[in-house]
Amino acid sequence: MTEQDIQNSIRIELSKHGFFTERINVGEGFLVPKELFEVIKRKCPDLPLHKISYFKTGAVKGRSDLSAIKDGRIYYLEVKTPTGTVKPDQKKFLAVMRDRYGCAAGVVRSVDDALELVGVIK
């Protein structure tokens, strides 16, 4: 199962339990396909590539993949495959949400992990 498959399964199951879920997309890059950008860099090394528009989208760095809301509480779920690695920025985001704001936040690798995080499974 891919991370996206796990996310979709979690969203479906949480919605069955009355949660609003939201998937956050975060990304950055040039407004030129990566393969083309690499060709340009190789063939035209003197071209001012810094003038090609660079973009960043989405939320703050490390933001969890999913958020779930129910009964006035928000939960942050960093979804990973069973072997997926949590990045330092993701760990920091989860810690801030838990420690500073009192949210339930954590890494989940399955639907059951997600249900446990939000309190459906105890």
Q: pLDDT (tens digit, 9 = 90+) per residue, 26-76?
A: 777 777 787 888 898 889 888 887 777 777 777 888 999 999 999 999 999
Per-residue tokens: 21: 């879920």
d(CA 11, CA 5): 10
Q: What is the pTM of this model?
A: 0.78
User: Cβ-count burial of 76 within 10 angstroms (0-12 exposed, 13-18 middle, 19+ buried)?
Assistant: buried
Per-residue tokens: 36: 């083309």
Neighbours of 60 (CB within 10 A): 11
Kindly indicate the confidence band of residue 8, based on its pLDDT and cuts at 50, 70 and 90. Answer: very high
d(CA 17, CA 71): 11
Right CATH number for 1-24+60-122 from 3.40.50.300, 3.40.1350.10, 3.30.360.10, 3.60.15.30? 3.40.1350.10
* Model confidence pLDDT, tens digit, residues 63-119: 999 999 999 999 999 999 999 999 999 999 999 999 999 999 999 999 999 999 999
